[in-house]
Amino acid sequence: MTPLERAGLALLHRMDPERAHGLSLTALRAGLVPLPGAITSDRLATDLAGLALPNPVGLAAGYDKNAVALGPLARAGFGFVEVGAATPRPQPGNPRPRLFRLSEDRAAINRFGFNNEGMVAIGARLAARPEGAVVGLNLGANKDSADRAADFAAVLAHCGAHVDFATVNVSSPNTERLRDLQGRAALSALLAGVMAARSGLARPIPVFLKIAPDLSDAEIDEIAGVALEAGISGIVATNTTLARGELTSRHAGEAGGLSGAPLFARSTRVLARLSVATGGRLPLIGVGGIGSAEDAYAKIRAGARAVQLYTALVYGGLGLVAQIVQGLEGLLARDGFANVAEAVGTGRDEWV
């Protein structure tokens, strides 16, 4: 991290977290953040459900909720970028304060509640997205919707022509009873509707399912079965957790989803269990607590074909992306892997 980047992060950390989040997007759009451009090599290039990624390290949904910084993010070193979550209608989300830094724990707690400008505004920005970048959209449901399952299909139908993949997000803990949609009957019906919307697109795209880390082995196995039956393209493991564990920050008791370093082990165990349950038939994306190349490599060895990060950027800045990607290439080379695919699942037994 350069002295300028260090000073910028220090300034942001003196602000309210949500204000700092918005200011970081403004700085990115204004060209005030140094960006490395695409980072790739023969060893890093990865296929994810038919998507050709320059490297397997992506940006998780939640940072650019409204797709306002697609150009700069496409040059930040990520192999792919996911924006959103988008809902059919704009909604303000939950009352503030709703984002908390847990600096001592390298973590964050949020209870945003799908605040976003809605699929019409977000879809218009996605239609003008930069060429060459792999961009996906996280699909959400309005809090007051009479048919939340239909909301996911509606967002995909409206925005699907302008993205490379979509993620069905039934695992946010901040919309009341949303996680109930992870049950077999509800999830089967929801995914059937989403896949019907996908079939109506001129260019059918991969559809992923994002699950919670707070699931039993039986629930993970059930979700894996539903996903395979529905014909979706992959599973993202995982979203934030409602569990707390041993945290030291004064914000530890805040309601909402916990992300960052304390989530790493829990989410990686779910990922590995999911790898077993799917038997390698679905590509998996590992998310939760990644803050270093070693963390990303551990996710891949636990069964992930690609990974995503977000909270670690709060503490390491966007320069962390290049560090992780380049470090990952070194780890793959050290262990004799010619590409990412060769390493997938080789360390799964350490987690199940």
User: What is the rounded CA–CA span in Å between residue 15 and residue 38?
Assistant: 31
165: which residues sit within 8 A by CB, 6+ positions away?
A: 49, 51, 80, 82, 134, 136, 137, 205, 206, 207, 208, 233
Q: What is the largest CA-CA distance in the chain?
A: 53
Bridge partners for 285 per DSSP: 236, 306
- 239 beta partners: none
Cβ atoms within 10 Å, residue 4: 11
Rounded CA-CA distance 260/255 in Å is: 15
User: Does the active-site annotation cover 172?
Assistant: yes
Q: Which two tokens stand for residue 12?
A: 């942001």
Show the DSSP H helices in the chain as ranges: 3-12, 17-29, 70-74, 119-127, 148-159, 184-199, 217-230, 264-278, 293-302, 311-316, 319-334, 340-343
172, 233, 249, 275: the catalytic one is 172
What Rg do the C-alpha atoms of the chain give, in angstroms?
Answer: 18
Distances, alpha carbon 169 to alpha carbons 61, 76, 137, 291, in Å:
10, 25, 10, 23
Return the structure tokens found at 126.
């996605």
Residue numbers annotated as active site:
172
